[in-house]
Amino acid sequence: MGCSSGIGFASRPGAVPRATRILLALVLAARAAHAAPSVLVAIGDRSPLGLPFSRFSEVALDDRGRSAFVGASAAVFTRTGETLAHLVGAGDVVLGRTVAGVDGPALGGGDCFAFRALFVGGGAAIAERCGGSVGAVAQVGQPAPDGRSFAGFGSDVALGGGGWLAFTAVLDDGTTGVFVADPDGSLGEVTRTGALSPAGGAFTSLRVIGVAGAGTVAFRGAVTSGPDGLFSWDGSALGRIAVVGDASPAGGAFTSVGLGTLNDAGVCAFRASISSGPRAGIFRAVVSAFPTLGTVALEGDATPLGGTFAAFPTSLAPWVNAGGDVAFRATLEGRGVPSAGVFVAAAAGPLGAVVAVGEPTEVGSSSGCARSRWPTTGASSCAPRSPTAPRGSFACAPDASIALRCSATRTTWAAASASRT
Protein backbone atom coordinates (compact mmCIF):
# COMPACT_ATOMS: atom_id res chain seq x y z
CA MET A 1 0.00 0.00 0.00
CA GLY A 2 1.28 3.47 -0.73
CA CYS A 3 1.31 5.86 2.17
CA SER A 4 2.74 9.17 3.26
CA SER A 5 4.69 10.18 6.29
CA GLY A 6 3.82 12.60 9.07
CA ILE A 7 0.97 12.96 11.51
CA GLY A 8 0.02 16.58 10.93
CA PHE A 9 -3.57 17.56 11.47
CA ALA A 10 -5.55 18.67 8.44
CA SER A 11 -8.23 21.35 8.29
CA ARG A 12 -7.89 22.87 11.72
CA PRO A 13 -9.14 26.45 11.31
CA GLY A 14 -6.24 28.83 10.77
CA ALA A 15 -3.77 26.02 10.25
CA VAL A 16 -1.75 25.61 7.06
CA PRO A 17 0.00 22.34 6.20
CA ARG A 18 3.70 22.53 7.06
CA ALA A 19 5.04 22.30 3.51
CA THR A 20 2.64 25.02 2.40
CA ARG A 21 3.71 27.26 5.29
CA ILE A 22 7.34 26.88 4.20
CA LEU A 23 6.47 27.83 0.65
CA LEU A 24 4.45 30.85 1.74
CA ALA A 25 7.23 32.02 4.04
CA LEU A 26 9.74 31.95 1.20
CA VAL A 27 7.39 33.81 -1.09
CA LEU A 28 6.82 36.41 1.61
CA ALA A 29 10.56 36.91 2.23
CA ALA A 30 11.39 37.22 -1.47
CA ARG A 31 8.63 39.61 -2.38
CA ALA A 32 8.24 41.75 0.71
CA ALA A 33 10.32 44.59 -0.76
CA HIS A 34 8.50 44.62 -4.09
CA ALA A 35 4.87 43.64 -3.67
CA ALA A 36 2.32 42.11 -1.39
CA PRO A 37 2.89 38.37 -0.94
CA SER A 38 0.74 36.01 -2.93
CA VAL A 39 0.14 32.27 -2.90
CA LEU A 40 1.90 30.52 -5.76
CA VAL A 41 0.23 27.16 -5.33
CA ALA A 42 -1.77 25.42 -2.63
CA ILE A 43 -2.78 21.91 -1.71
CA GLY A 44 -5.80 21.02 -3.82
CA ASP A 45 -4.74 23.13 -6.82
CA ARG A 46 -4.48 21.10 -10.00
CA SER A 47 -1.01 20.44 -11.35
CA PRO A 48 -0.17 20.64 -15.07
CA LEU A 49 -0.55 16.86 -15.06
CA GLY A 50 -4.22 17.24 -14.18
CA LEU A 51 -4.26 15.93 -10.60
CA PRO A 52 -4.62 18.02 -7.42
CA PHE A 53 -1.44 18.65 -5.45
CA SER A 54 -1.38 16.67 -2.19
CA ARG A 55 1.87 18.00 -0.69
CA PHE A 56 4.97 20.07 -1.42
CA SER A 57 8.67 19.85 -0.56
CA GLU A 58 12.13 21.08 -1.57
CA VAL A 59 11.26 24.66 -2.45
CA ALA A 60 13.85 26.79 -4.32
CA LEU A 61 13.73 30.54 -5.05
CA ASP A 62 16.18 32.81 -6.88
CA ASP A 63 16.69 36.60 -6.85
CA ARG A 64 14.70 36.96 -10.09
CA GLY A 65 11.55 35.66 -8.46
CA ARG A 66 11.63 32.25 -10.08
CA SER A 67 10.57 29.36 -7.87
CA ALA A 68 10.74 25.61 -8.15
CA PHE A 69 9.37 22.94 -5.89
CA VAL A 70 8.52 19.28 -5.71
CA GLY A 71 4.79 18.66 -5.78
CA ALA A 72 3.15 15.29 -5.26
CA SER A 73 -0.31 13.86 -5.82
CA ALA A 74 -0.94 11.02 -3.37
CA ALA A 75 -2.94 7.84 -3.86
CA VAL A 76 -3.42 4.51 -2.10
CA PHE A 77 -2.79 1.29 -4.01
CA THR A 78 -3.10 -2.38 -3.22
CA ARG A 79 -1.36 -5.37 -4.71
CA THR A 80 -2.80 -8.89 -4.75
CA GLY A 81 -0.56 -11.40 -6.45
CA GLU A 82 0.54 -9.74 -9.68
CA THR A 83 -2.37 -7.29 -9.76
CA LEU A 84 -1.74 -3.68 -8.72
CA ALA A 85 -4.94 -1.71 -8.13
CA HIS A 86 -5.77 1.92 -7.37
CA LEU A 87 -8.02 2.29 -4.33
CA VAL A 88 -8.36 6.04 -3.76
CA GLY A 89 -6.29 9.13 -4.51
CA ALA A 90 -6.03 12.76 -5.52
CA GLY A 91 -8.67 13.70 -8.07
CA ASP A 92 -11.16 11.01 -7.01
CA VAL A 93 -14.55 11.98 -5.68
CA VAL A 94 -15.15 10.64 -2.17
CA LEU A 95 -18.13 11.50 0.03
CA GLY A 96 -19.28 13.92 -2.65
CA ARG A 97 -16.03 15.94 -2.67
CA THR A 98 -12.85 15.92 -4.75
CA VAL A 99 -9.87 14.44 -2.94
CA ALA A 100 -6.71 16.55 -2.70
CA GLY A 101 -4.69 13.90 -0.89
CA VAL A 102 -4.86 10.71 1.15
CA ASP A 103 -2.68 9.15 3.83
CA GLY A 104 -2.73 6.87 6.85
CA PRO A 105 -4.08 3.74 5.08
CA ALA A 106 -4.98 0.99 7.54
CA LEU A 107 -6.05 -2.56 6.72
CA GLY A 108 -8.61 -4.47 8.75
CA GLY A 109 -10.56 -7.67 8.46
CA GLY A 110 -12.19 -8.71 5.20
CA ASP A 111 -11.76 -6.31 2.32
CA CYS A 112 -11.99 -3.09 4.34
CA PHE A 113 -9.42 -0.36 4.74
CA ALA A 114 -9.52 3.07 6.37
CA PHE A 115 -7.73 6.30 5.50
CA ARG A 116 -7.60 10.05 5.99
CA ALA A 117 -8.83 12.13 3.05
CA LEU A 118 -7.99 15.80 2.48
CA PHE A 119 -10.36 17.67 0.19
CA VAL A 120 -9.94 20.32 -2.48
CA GLY A 121 -11.04 23.63 -0.97
CA GLY A 122 -10.35 22.50 2.59
CA GLY A 123 -11.86 20.00 4.96
CA ALA A 124 -10.93 16.43 5.77
CA ALA A 125 -12.47 13.15 6.82
CA ILE A 126 -11.67 9.74 8.21
CA ALA A 127 -13.22 7.31 5.75
CA GLU A 128 -13.57 3.55 5.43
CA ARG A 129 -13.88 1.61 2.20
CA CYS A 130 -15.38 -1.88 2.23
CA GLY A 131 -15.71 -3.45 -1.19
CA GLY A 132 -16.59 -0.64 -3.57
CA SER A 133 -18.42 1.46 -0.98
CA VAL A 134 -16.82 4.37 0.90
CA GLY A 135 -18.40 5.72 4.09
CA ALA A 136 -17.52 8.59 6.40
CA VAL A 137 -16.41 7.70 9.92
CA ALA A 138 -15.90 11.33 10.95
CA GLN A 139 -15.74 14.64 9.08
CA VAL A 140 -14.59 18.17 9.86
CA GLY A 141 -17.47 20.10 11.43
CA GLN A 142 -19.18 16.98 12.75
CA PRO A 143 -20.00 16.96 16.48
CA ALA A 144 -17.49 14.93 18.48
CA PRO A 145 -18.38 12.62 21.38
CA ASP A 146 -18.49 14.38 24.75
CA GLY A 147 -18.87 17.85 23.22
CA ARG A 148 -17.10 20.18 20.77
CA SER A 149 -16.71 19.36 17.05
CA PHE A 150 -14.01 17.91 14.82
CA ALA A 151 -11.70 20.56 13.32
CA GLY A 152 -9.08 18.25 11.75
CA PHE A 153 -7.61 14.75 11.79
CA GLY A 154 -4.21 13.17 12.21
CA SER A 155 -2.93 10.59 9.77
CA ASP A 156 -2.56 7.89 12.45
CA VAL A 157 -5.52 5.68 11.59
CA ALA A 158 -5.93 2.10 12.86
CA LEU A 159 -8.43 -0.56 11.80
CA GLY A 160 -8.97 -3.82 13.69
CA GLY A 161 -10.22 -7.12 12.34
CA GLY A 162 -13.44 -6.85 14.31
CA GLY A 163 -14.40 -3.64 12.53
CA TRP A 164 -13.17 -1.26 15.25
CA LEU A 165 -11.46 1.90 13.98
CA ALA A 166 -9.33 4.36 15.98
CA PHE A 167 -7.97 7.77 15.00
CA THR A 168 -6.76 11.07 16.40
CA ALA A 169 -8.49 14.39 15.83
CA VAL A 170 -8.09 18.01 16.81
CA LEU A 171 -11.23 19.65 18.19
CA ASP A 172 -12.51 23.17 17.72
CA ASP A 173 -11.23 24.16 21.19
CA GLY A 174 -7.65 23.23 20.21
CA THR A 175 -7.45 20.00 22.19
CA THR A 176 -6.45 16.72 20.57
CA GLY A 177 -8.30 13.49 21.23
CA VAL A 178 -8.18 9.78 20.49
CA PHE A 179 -11.50 8.47 19.21
CA VAL A 180 -12.87 5.05 18.34
CA ALA A 181 -15.67 3.91 16.03
CA ASP A 182 -17.28 0.59 16.91
CA PRO A 183 -18.38 -1.89 14.21
CA ASP A 184 -21.78 -0.22 13.85
CA GLY A 185 -20.18 3.20 13.33
CA SER A 186 -20.92 4.74 16.73
CA LEU A 187 -18.17 7.09 17.91
CA GLY A 188 -16.64 7.20 21.38
CA GLU A 189 -13.86 9.17 23.00
CA VAL A 190 -10.83 7.36 24.45
CA THR A 191 -9.11 10.41 25.94
CA ARG A 192 -7.93 13.89 25.02
CA THR A 193 -5.10 16.27 25.86
CA GLY A 194 -5.53 17.73 29.33
CA ALA A 195 -7.10 14.53 30.65
CA LEU A 196 -5.40 12.63 33.46
CA SER A 197 -2.98 9.85 32.60
CA PRO A 198 -3.29 6.52 34.47
CA ALA A 199 0.43 6.86 35.26
CA GLY A 200 0.04 10.35 36.73
CA GLY A 201 0.07 13.81 35.19
CA ALA A 202 -1.96 14.97 32.19
CA PHE A 203 -1.70 14.16 28.49
CA THR A 204 -0.13 16.83 26.26
CA SER A 205 -0.02 14.90 22.95
CA LEU A 206 -1.51 11.66 21.68
CA ARG A 207 -0.93 9.25 18.82
CA VAL A 208 -2.83 6.05 18.02
CA ILE A 209 -0.70 2.94 17.45
CA GLY A 210 -3.43 0.35 16.94
CA VAL A 211 -6.81 -1.15 17.76
CA ALA A 212 -7.37 -4.84 18.53
CA GLY A 213 -10.18 -7.02 17.25
CA ALA A 214 -12.03 -6.74 20.57
CA GLY A 215 -11.87 -2.92 20.50
CA THR A 216 -8.87 -2.31 22.76
CA VAL A 217 -7.10 0.87 21.66
CA ALA A 218 -3.37 1.44 22.16
CA PHE A 219 -1.77 4.86 21.89
CA ARG A 220 1.34 6.78 22.79
CA GLY A 221 0.96 9.73 25.12
CA ALA A 222 3.29 12.54 26.09
CA VAL A 223 2.54 13.66 29.63
CA THR A 224 3.22 16.71 31.76
CA SER A 225 4.00 16.11 35.45
CA GLY A 226 4.10 12.39 34.76
CA PRO A 227 5.83 9.73 32.63
CA ASP A 228 5.44 9.44 28.85
CA GLY A 229 4.73 6.04 27.38
CA LEU A 230 2.27 3.64 25.81
CA PHE A 231 -1.27 3.37 27.12
CA SER A 232 -4.40 1.36 26.42
CA TRP A 233 -8.17 1.71 26.64
CA ASP A 234 -10.38 -1.36 27.08
CA GLY A 235 -13.73 0.28 26.39
CA SER A 236 -14.21 1.67 29.86
CA ALA A 237 -10.89 2.59 31.46
CA LEU A 238 -7.37 3.69 30.56
CA GLY A 239 -4.37 1.53 31.46
CA ARG A 240 -0.61 1.63 31.02
CA ILE A 241 1.34 -0.69 28.72
CA ALA A 242 4.86 0.61 29.31
CA VAL A 243 5.91 4.04 30.59
CA VAL A 244 9.15 5.75 31.51
CA GLY A 245 10.28 4.48 34.91
CA ASP A 246 8.62 1.07 34.62
CA ALA A 247 10.85 -1.98 35.08
CA SER A 248 12.24 -3.33 31.80
CA PRO A 249 12.15 -7.08 31.07
CA ALA A 250 15.85 -6.72 30.10
CA GLY A 251 16.80 -5.18 33.44
CA GLY A 252 16.86 -1.60 34.63
CA ALA A 253 13.99 0.75 33.84
CA PHE A 254 12.60 2.34 30.70
CA THR A 255 14.15 5.77 30.12
CA SER A 256 12.17 6.49 26.94
CA VAL A 257 9.31 4.71 25.19
CA GLY A 258 8.76 5.24 21.48
CA LEU A 259 6.11 4.31 18.96
CA GLY A 260 4.80 0.82 18.36
CA THR A 261 2.11 -1.24 16.68
CA LEU A 262 -0.72 -3.45 17.93
CA ASN A 263 -2.15 -6.59 16.37
CA ASP A 264 -5.67 -7.97 16.45
CA ALA A 265 -4.93 -10.22 19.44
CA GLY A 266 -3.73 -7.30 21.58
CA VAL A 267 0.01 -7.90 21.25
CA CYS A 268 2.09 -4.74 21.00
CA ALA A 269 5.64 -4.25 19.65
CA PHE A 270 7.53 -1.08 20.47
CA ARG A 271 10.94 0.56 20.63
CA ALA A 272 12.31 1.83 23.96
CA SER A 273 15.52 2.76 25.74
CA ILE A 274 16.49 1.31 29.11
CA SER A 275 18.83 2.36 31.92
CA SER A 276 20.67 -0.96 31.88
CA GLY A 277 23.63 -0.30 29.59
CA PRO A 278 22.16 2.16 28.80
CA ARG A 279 20.88 0.89 25.47
CA ALA A 280 17.82 0.74 23.26
CA GLY A 281 15.82 -2.26 22.16
CA ILE A 282 12.68 -3.72 20.65
CA PHE A 283 10.10 -5.09 23.07
CA ARG A 284 6.86 -7.06 22.92
CA ALA A 285 3.88 -6.63 25.29
CA VAL A 286 0.62 -8.51 25.72
CA VAL A 287 -1.88 -5.75 26.46
CA SER A 288 -4.15 -6.40 29.43
CA ALA A 289 -4.95 -4.96 32.84
CA PHE A 290 -1.52 -6.30 33.85
CA PRO A 291 0.61 -6.30 30.66
CA THR A 292 3.22 -9.00 30.13
CA LEU A 293 6.44 -7.63 28.61
CA GLY A 294 9.26 -9.41 26.82
CA THR A 295 12.49 -8.45 25.06
CA VAL A 296 12.84 -8.97 21.30
CA ALA A 297 16.31 -7.51 20.64
CA LEU A 298 18.78 -5.10 22.28
CA GLU A 299 21.66 -2.99 21.10
CA GLY A 300 24.79 -5.08 21.56
CA ASP A 301 23.01 -8.41 21.06
CA ALA A 302 24.40 -10.82 18.47
CA THR A 303 22.53 -10.81 15.14
CA PRO A 304 21.73 -13.73 12.80
CA LEU A 305 24.07 -12.10 10.25
CA GLY A 306 27.03 -11.88 12.60
CA GLY A 307 28.20 -8.83 14.50
CA THR A 308 25.87 -7.04 16.87
CA PHE A 309 22.88 -4.71 16.71
CA ALA A 310 24.14 -1.11 16.68
CA ALA A 311 20.86 0.84 16.67
CA PHE A 312 17.14 0.63 15.97
CA PRO A 313 15.91 3.68 13.99
CA THR A 314 13.60 5.87 16.03
CA SER A 315 11.68 6.86 12.89
CA LEU A 316 10.47 3.30 12.25
CA ALA A 317 8.10 1.55 14.63
CA PRO A 318 8.54 -2.24 14.83
CA TRP A 319 5.61 -4.09 13.28
CA VAL A 320 3.76 -7.02 14.84
CA ASN A 321 1.65 -9.36 12.72
CA ALA A 322 -1.41 -11.40 13.64
CA GLY A 323 0.69 -14.30 14.93
CA GLY A 324 2.78 -12.10 17.21
CA ASP A 325 5.90 -12.12 15.02
CA VAL A 326 7.78 -8.81 15.18
CA ALA A 327 9.58 -7.24 12.20
CA PHE A 328 12.08 -4.43 12.63
CA ARG A 329 14.99 -2.68 10.93
CA ALA A 330 18.38 -2.33 12.61
CA THR A 331 21.87 -1.11 11.82
CA LEU A 332 24.73 -3.49 12.56
CA GLU A 333 28.35 -3.27 13.63
CA GLY A 334 31.18 -5.74 13.36
CA ARG A 335 33.77 -6.82 10.83
CA GLY A 336 32.45 -8.28 7.61
CA VAL A 337 28.75 -7.76 8.41
CA PRO A 338 26.18 -5.70 6.44
CA SER A 339 25.52 -2.17 7.61
CA ALA A 340 21.79 -2.78 8.15
CA GLY A 341 19.05 -5.32 7.72
CA VAL A 342 15.43 -6.24 8.35
CA PHE A 343 14.74 -8.96 10.92
CA VAL A 344 11.80 -11.02 12.15
CA ALA A 345 11.47 -12.31 15.69
CA ALA A 346 9.01 -15.19 15.70
CA ALA A 347 6.46 -15.25 18.53
CA ALA A 348 7.78 -18.67 19.54
CA GLY A 349 11.14 -19.27 17.94
CA PRO A 350 14.49 -17.74 17.04
CA LEU A 351 15.34 -14.39 15.50
CA GLY A 352 15.99 -14.45 11.76
CA ALA A 353 17.12 -12.07 9.02
CA VAL A 354 14.85 -11.25 6.08
CA VAL A 355 17.17 -9.08 3.99
CA ALA A 356 20.38 -7.10 4.44
CA VAL A 357 22.16 -4.26 2.69
CA GLY A 358 24.29 -5.63 -0.15
CA GLU A 359 22.08 -8.60 -0.98
CA PRO A 360 20.98 -8.90 -4.62
CA THR A 361 17.51 -7.74 -5.65
CA GLU A 362 15.68 -7.95 -8.97
CA VAL A 363 17.22 -4.59 -9.94
CA GLY A 364 20.68 -4.88 -8.41
CA SER A 365 22.29 -4.95 -4.98
CA SER A 366 20.24 -3.36 -2.20
CA SER A 367 21.73 -0.31 -0.50
CA GLY A 368 19.04 0.07 2.15
CA CYS A 369 15.66 -1.26 3.17
CA ALA A 370 12.84 -0.08 5.42
CA ARG A 371 10.20 -2.41 6.78
CA SER A 372 6.69 -1.54 5.66
CA ARG A 373 3.40 -2.89 6.93
CA TRP A 374 2.24 -6.48 7.04
CA PRO A 375 -1.11 -7.95 8.16
CA THR A 376 -2.05 -7.48 11.81
CA THR A 377 -5.31 -9.40 11.41
CA GLY A 378 -6.00 -13.01 10.52
CA ALA A 379 -3.74 -15.96 11.19
CA SER A 380 -0.10 -15.61 10.23
CA SER A 381 3.27 -16.59 11.60
CA CYS A 382 6.88 -16.91 10.46
CA ALA A 383 9.95 -18.77 11.63
CA PRO A 384 13.41 -19.18 10.09
CA ARG A 385 13.70 -22.46 8.20
CA SER A 386 17.14 -23.48 9.46
CA PRO A 387 20.56 -21.96 10.16
CA THR A 388 21.83 -23.33 6.81
CA ALA A 389 18.90 -22.11 4.68
CA PRO A 390 19.39 -19.10 2.39
CA ARG A 391 19.16 -15.75 4.15
CA GLY A 392 15.59 -14.46 4.23
CA SER A 393 14.18 -17.99 3.89
CA PHE A 394 11.27 -18.41 6.26
CA ALA A 395 8.52 -20.93 6.77
CA CYS A 396 5.37 -18.81 6.85
CA ALA A 397 1.63 -19.06 6.93
CA PRO A 398 0.06 -17.91 3.62
CA ASP A 399 -0.63 -14.32 4.70
CA ALA A 400 2.65 -13.68 6.52
CA SER A 401 4.40 -11.70 3.80
CA ILE A 402 6.43 -8.65 4.80
CA ALA A 403 6.63 -5.61 2.55
CA LEU A 404 9.95 -3.83 2.20
CA ARG A 405 10.93 -0.55 0.58
CA CYS A 406 14.43 -1.00 -0.76
CA SER A 407 16.96 1.24 -2.45
CA ALA A 408 18.98 -0.47 -5.14
CA THR A 409 20.96 0.40 -8.23
CA ARG A 410 17.68 1.87 -9.42
CA THR A 411 15.23 3.20 -6.82
CA THR A 412 12.24 0.89 -6.67
CA TRP A 413 9.46 -0.42 -4.50
CA ALA A 414 10.25 -4.07 -3.92
CA ALA A 415 7.62 -6.58 -2.92
CA ALA A 416 9.89 -8.67 -0.73
CA SER A 417 8.41 -11.50 1.23
CA ALA A 418 9.54 -14.46 3.23
CA SER A 419 9.53 -17.78 1.38
CA ARG A 420 6.21 -19.49 1.83
CA THR A 421 5.29 -23.10 2.37
pLDDT tens per residue across span 302-327: 999 999 999 999 888 999 998 999 99
Report, as an integer, the average pLDDT of 133-160: 94
Q: What pLDDT does 413 receive?
A: 31
pLDDT surpassing 70 at residue 299: yes
Q: What pLDDT does 362 receive?
A: 64
Report, as an integer, the average pLDDT of 108-128: 92
pLDDT tens per residue across span 149-174: 999 999 999 999 889 999 999 999 99
For residue 20, give the nearest of 70, 74, 88 by alpha carbon. 70
**Where are the chain's structural domains?**
18-72
Report, as an integer, the average pLDDT of 38-57: 91
Please spell the DSSP secondary structure of 32-80, one letter per residue. TTTS----S--TTPBPTTSSB--EEEEEEE-TTS-EEEEEE--EEEEEE
Q: What pLDDT does 8 receive?
A: 54
pLDDT surpassing 90 at residue 25: no
Q: Which of 25-29, 70-74, 397-401 has the highest mean pLDDT?
A: 70-74
Q: What pLDDT does 363 receive?
A: 56
Predicted TM-score of the model (pTM) = 0.80
Mean pLDDT rounded to a whole number for the chain: 82
